[in-house]
Amino acid sequence: MKILVTGASGQLGSTFKSIAAQGRAKDLEFVFKSSAELDITDFDAVHEELTGSNYAYCINCAAFTNVDKAEADNDLAYRVNVTGARNLALNCNESSTVLIHISTDFVFDGFLNTPYLEEDIARPIGFYGDTKYKGERAVINNLEEHFIIRTSWLYSEYGHNFMKTMLKLGAERDGLSVVYDQVGTPTYALDLANVVLHIIKAHSIDYGVYNYSNEGVASWYDFANEIFQQYKIDIDLKPIRSEEYPMPAERPKFSVLDKSKIKNTFELEIPHWKDSLAVALKAYSKINI
């Protein structure tokens, strides 16, 4: 099967590249396109790429993911996350390509105290989350054959993410403060990528919206503490409230995702976030010897 991966230079796209390079998906033919190589906000460019290329699947890893910058650069965030998603959906529909679109826990407001189900009402509290939800709707309204996977707190050995930021700061500072009143689940990009490949190899037609993260629950403080403990970094880590570390964009206070649907549909066993973190840190060490 021939598979187009958009946003191939980001952390999830880079993860798929690593999987392909290691020969762990030999029965799949990947075509990787970075945002510079394929601008999904350009309808004609997307049309040209998909027309006649016989792609069975398109995995959309392209997204404007800087939550704070989205508050300032509304136009670019909207074009990538909404217009880009619509362009892919329309052209996938025309070329009979199944679209696997990656979304986010930020479509929810974080006011619940129980894990979010796929059918819970989306109420984004920031511009980033609003564009991602509108991107979901653009896919749903223009393409029947789609999978939308909402994930949370994505990290890996690639790109820019919380794990790598903590390791950098841990090497530079003696002390650090991290918020403890925002709760969710860290998700290792490799685990998410493997689930996407599992869906593809199953030739599933159970289209729709799915939640996916690793198992377990943590605050950002818990996540940071586990990173430092596993990587054996001695640092004075202090928990603080969100109000003590103001950011341009408000974050959901509770964004734990219920994964029952994806586990039952695809018979998945999902690793705990602490176990996956150990794998990620080992991979990070190999890259940064």
Q: Annotated catalytic sites, by residue?
A: 128
For residue 198, what are its two tokens? 């599992």
b/e map of 157-186 (b: 16 or more CB within 10 Å)?
Answer: bbbebbbbebbebbeeeeebebbbbbbbbb
Distances (CA, A) of 148 to 1, 17, 53, 91, 127: 20, 21, 23, 16, 19
How far is 71 from 156, CA to CA, in rounded Å?
Answer: 25
Whether 31 contacts 87, CB under 8 Å: no
Q: What are phi and psi of 29, to 5 degrees?
A: -105, 110
Q: What are phi and psi of 31, to 5 degrees?
A: -120, 115
User: If we measure between CA atoms, which residue out of 211, 218, 219 comes closest to residue 104?
Assistant: 211
Q: Which residues contact 163 (CB under 8 A, 6 or more apart)?
A: 155, 156, 186, 227, 277, 280, 281, 284
